[in-house]
Amino acid sequence: MKSESESERQCVASGNYVISKKQKVILEAYLGTCVGVTLCDRKAGVGGLIHFLLPEPTGLERPWKAEVYASTGLPKFIQALCKAGANKNKLEASIAGGSLVGPVSRLDLDLDIGGRTTEVVRTILREDGMLINNEETGGFSGCRLSLDLQTLKTSIQPIYVQSPLISNDLEKPTSEDISNIIHLVRPIPQIALKIARMINNGDYDMREAAGEIKQDQIISARVIKLCNSSFIGLKKKIDSIDRAIIILGEKMLLKLVISASLELFFSDQEQGGYSLIKGGLYRHALGTALISEELAGFTGRVSSDIAYTAGLLHDIGKVVLDQYMAKVNPFFYRRTQEDGIELCEAEKEIFGISHPETGKLLAENWSIPENLVDTILHHHYPEHATLDPELTHIVYLADLLMSRFQVGQEIESLNMDNLSSRLQKVGLSTSEFPVIIDLIPPGIFDASYDQTI
């Protein structure tokens, strides 16, 4: 419970900014390849934080938001600060992020997205004559940029805190141990599994599904909560499942039921295992689902509904291994963040089994459709998929974007060694990689964006 003297913490999601007068709030941005900037006028008592995804607009023909890009977002941010009472000549800056996260590929070096975003920020600040007090950019791991609005002081800290390494004699879980955990894991509700099969088969019996949803009070309450959250962004409140069907439509409601069910499934995982923050596994799953849906629509290669469902389910195996991960966090920090080892390789090294493999076992236990099981198993190495390779490649790309551009939620590390061929599998090229980054929905986890508080 937060004490009266403790400041409230507010996350600033990618493509957003927050500006405020002095108050007991700490603004935070979790940064990997993204770049974050704080600007403060100490005399006026005004400060803010902005979180960029890309250096400049990609030319994608879709509605775009200035704050996503450094070239358009930073001038808008400065203008908003001045409107809030800051003197442009008194603003002091701090810059963070722009790192090469996880196993680094040749494409990372060639695209240099974080480096180019950082350079755009530096150029604009330099041209405006602003003092850069603190800059920690580049490197090979993520960081947390924080602005204390009470003191207008900025801090930059690593997301992964190093601690003493585990001993080498940690006992690996046996196949029997894994089997026992799978049978003890909290199952997702049967209605969610039924809907997942309906979406996969394209066979919608909404009357029957709605009846079952309404009979489950917990799921109904969570679905209505999601309907009224920033995830949907409705102006009018939804207070019943029937009203949700009318306003959102049948397919959207079905996706929300699965989303709410996965939130329940991941709710036992606290910070300390795979999850770096409370609810980190769910936030990563939901983000991957949303990006999978966007990529499916953009490429036209797979059903958006099925891609969304596969994105939600891709990391369920982490729940099985989570209790072991809690004991070996420092090992995974060293292997994935310092040594650049892919996460599945590190898991096999210490556990003898990877989270996609445990995810496959869990999905089979739940009788999830085979193509989704195959995607869960191969989402780190999609070229190995046999049943629906294009779906698996879509989920891999969504997972990759989350791990590089929405860091700080869970332990993750994917390789980009074969990215060119993986992009080609869904009709994309390496030159279009910034374009698919642009598909990340801005502010998907934060209701308070682009605002003065």
Tens of each residue's pLDDT in the chain, 453 residues: 455 567 788 889 888 999 999 999 999 999 988 999 999 999 999 999 999 989 998 876 666 789 999 999 999 999 999 999 999 999 999 999 998 766 656 666 667 888 999 999 999 999 999 999 999 998 777 889 999 999 999 999 987 655 555 545 567 888 899 999 998 888 888 888 888 888 888 877 777 777 888 888 888 888 888 888 766 767 778 888 888 888 888 788 888 889 888 888 887 666 668 887 778 888 899 999 999 999 999 999 999 999 999 999 999 999 999 888 887 877 777 777 767 788 999 899 889 999 999 999 999 999 999 999 999 999 999 999 999 999 999 999 999 998 888 877 777 888 888 889 999 999 999 888 888 888 887 655 543 334 444
**Residues 363 and 309 occupy one common structural domain:** yes
Q: Contact at 8 Å (CB) between 442 and 67? A: yes
**Residues 415 and 366 occupy one common structural domain:** yes
Is 445 inside a domain boundary? no
Is 409 inside a domain boundary? yes
**Residues 67 and 99 occupy one common structural domain:** yes
Give 429's contacts (C-beta < 8 A, 6+ positions apart): 420, 423
**Residues 86 and 141 occupy one common structural domain:** yes
**Residues 61 and 139 occupy one common structural domain:** yes
CA distance 343 to 334: 11
**Residues 72 and 131 occupy one common structural domain:** yes
| Token pair belonging to 395 | 């989920």
The DSSP bridge partners found for residue 52 are 35
Phi-psi region of 52 (alpha: psi -120 to 50; beta: other; left: phi over 0): beta
CA distance 412 to 327: 16
**Residues 115 and 220 occupy one common structural domain:** no
**Domain assignment of residue 208, given as a range:** 175-437
Longest dimension (CA), the chain: 66
Q: Contact at 8 Å (CB) between 320 and 185? A: yes
CA distance 317 to 379: 12
**Residues 154 and 249 occupy one common structural domain:** no
**Residues 319 and 381 occupy one common structural domain:** yes
Which three-class secondary structure state does DSSP give residue 278?
A: coil
**Residues 39 and 81 occupy one common structural domain:** yes
The answer, as to whether pTM is greater than 0.75, is yes
